């Protein structure tokens, strides 16, 4: 029985990964944190290197979504980051939820990125990871952050395209591939 489940999960991942190759979204992007980890700053730098059109705000509010085609969450909880932002976990979850609702209402694409690997997993991080992954149109995940297949399972169950990458620097190529200019 375990072998059948394993094979089923592998087949789901392969089929979702195949659809990820076809996923495209428009620019400009709005990049924000979900959990206030510093990983969001790394994604900002990678987006710059990829030559993407984007705005960046760790604490973006719903009224800032206008004039953007895609909302990008960089997920991972950080108690230090939450403290520096002068907010607590519940306030951040409320902010992220309101962004998800507003983006869906505006028919914006939502891309969730988890680039912090296993260090951005755990109780605090996984609240943000699950929330943003379950509501995403596409996932970009550093493989070491998916060792327990949390993201792969969500992608399979919800039929969300997923890019699993080995190293964070590979993110730049994925970003170049999936984000097109808004016409």
- pLDDT of 176 > 60? The answer is yes
As to burial, measured by CB atoms within 10 angstroms (0-12 exposed, 13-18 middle, 19+ buried), residue 175 is buried
Residue 146 has pLDDT above 80, yes or no: yes
Number of domains observed in the structure of the chain: 1
Determine if residue 109 is left, alpha or beta; phi over 0 gives left, psi from -120 to 50 gives alpha, anything else beta.
Answer: beta
Token pair of 81, please?
């980051």
What confidence tier does 20 reach under pLDDT thresholds 50, 70, 90?
low
Q: Give the CATH number for residue 72.
A: 3.80.30
Residues 127, 93 contacting (CB under 8 angstroms): yes
Q: DSSP secondary-structure letter at 128?
A: H
Separation CA 119–CA 115 (nearest Å) = 10
Q: What's the domain range around 59?
A: 2-180
Peptide bond into 28 cis (omega under 30): yes
The SS3 assignment for 20 reads helix
Q: What's the whole-number mean pLDDT along residues 105-113?
A: 96
Alpha-carbon dihedral sign for residues 94, 117, 40, 21: negative
**For the chain, what percent of residues have pLDDT higher than 90?**
74
pTM comes to 0.87
- What average pLDDT does the segment 28-38 reach? 96
Closest CA to 92 of 101, 108, 81: 81
Residue 161 near residue 23, CB atoms below 8 Å: yes
């Amino acid at each position: 029985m375990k072998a059948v489940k394993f094979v089923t999960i592998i087949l789901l991942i392969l089929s979702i990964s195949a659809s990820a190759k076809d996923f495209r979204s428009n620019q400009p992007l709005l990049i924000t944190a979900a959990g206030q980890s510093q990983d969001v700053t790394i994604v900002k730098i990678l987006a710059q290197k990829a030559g993407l059109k984007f705005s960046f705000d760790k604490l973006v509010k719903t009224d800032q979504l206008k004039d953007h085609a895609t909302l990008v969450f960089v997920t991972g909880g950080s108690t230090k980051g939450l403290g520096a932002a002068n907010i607590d976990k519940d306030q951040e979850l409320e902010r992220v939820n309101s962004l998800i609702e507003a983006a869906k209402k505006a028919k914006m694409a939502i891309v969730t990125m988890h680039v912090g690997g296993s260090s951005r997993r755990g109780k605090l991080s996984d609240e943000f990871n699950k929330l943003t992954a379950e509501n995403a149109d596409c996932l970009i995940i550093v493989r070491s952050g998916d060792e327990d297949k949390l993201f792969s399972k969500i992608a399979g169950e919800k039929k969300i395209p997923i890019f699993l990458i080995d190293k964070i620097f590979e993110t730049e190529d994925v970003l170049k591939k999936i984000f097109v200019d808004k016409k």
